[in-house]
């Protein structure tokens, strides 16, 4: 009987600790990873960058987020990648001199997904906006 009480107390403390840790977690992280209906306006962003430079920044962002690249074509400026079990299309388009637009949409046209997928790509590009693209030396 005493062992059962000890086990119940340990289990109760474990769940209490998990509950306190979950409440202390930033709610925005939970909102970013929970699938919700994402507005179409949240899926595109305009940058003051040439289209080819934005394309390579997008490619770097997808790789840095460890999403699986399924298909890419630099001439037309699109990348198809897989994140959280779903495929997305990242399309870069010329918008004006030194201006371009990045649109990231789900391939199946269902906008019920975690908004962090799109926002993390935009955030990575914003952080690395002034980084120079370097050639990798050939061995």
Tokens 């595109």 belong to 44
Domain total in the chain: 2
Q: Within this chain, do residues 19 and 57 fall inside the same structural domain, yes or no?
A: no
CATH of the domain at 74: 3.30.310.80
Closest listed residue to residue 119, CA positions, set 25, 22, 27, 31: 31
Other beta carbons within 10 Å of 87 = 15
pLDDT (tens, 9 = 90+) of the chain, 139 residues, equals 677 766 666 666 555 454 444 443 343 555 556 788 899 999 999 999 899 899 999 999 999 999 999 999 988 889 999 998 899 999 999 988 889 999 999 999 999 998 989 999 999 999 988 777 666 666 6
- Dig out the tokens for 34 from the structure: 């929970």
Q: Within this chain, do residues 10 and 52 fall inside the same structural domain, yes or no?
A: no
Q: Within this chain, do residues 108 and 52 fall inside the same structural domain, yes or no?
A: yes
């Amino acid at each position: 009987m005493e062992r059962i009480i000890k086990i119940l107390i340990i289990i109760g403390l474990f769940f209490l600790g998990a509950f306190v840790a979950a409440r202390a977690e930033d709610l925005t992280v939970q909102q970013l990873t929970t699938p919700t209906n994402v507005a179409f306006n949240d899926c595109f962003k305009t940058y003051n960058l040439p289209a080819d430079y934005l394309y390579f920044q997008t490619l770097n962002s997808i790789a840095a987020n460890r999403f699986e690249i399924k298909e890419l074509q630099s001439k037309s400026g699109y990348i198809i990648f897989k994140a959280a079990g779903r495929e997305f299309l990242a399309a870069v388009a010329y918008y004006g001199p030194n201006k371009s637009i990045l649109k990231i949409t789900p391939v199946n046209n269902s906008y019920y997904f975690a908004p962090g997928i799109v926002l993390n790509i935009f955030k990575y590009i914003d952080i690395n906006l002034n980084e120079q693209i370097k050639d990798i030396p050939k061995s």
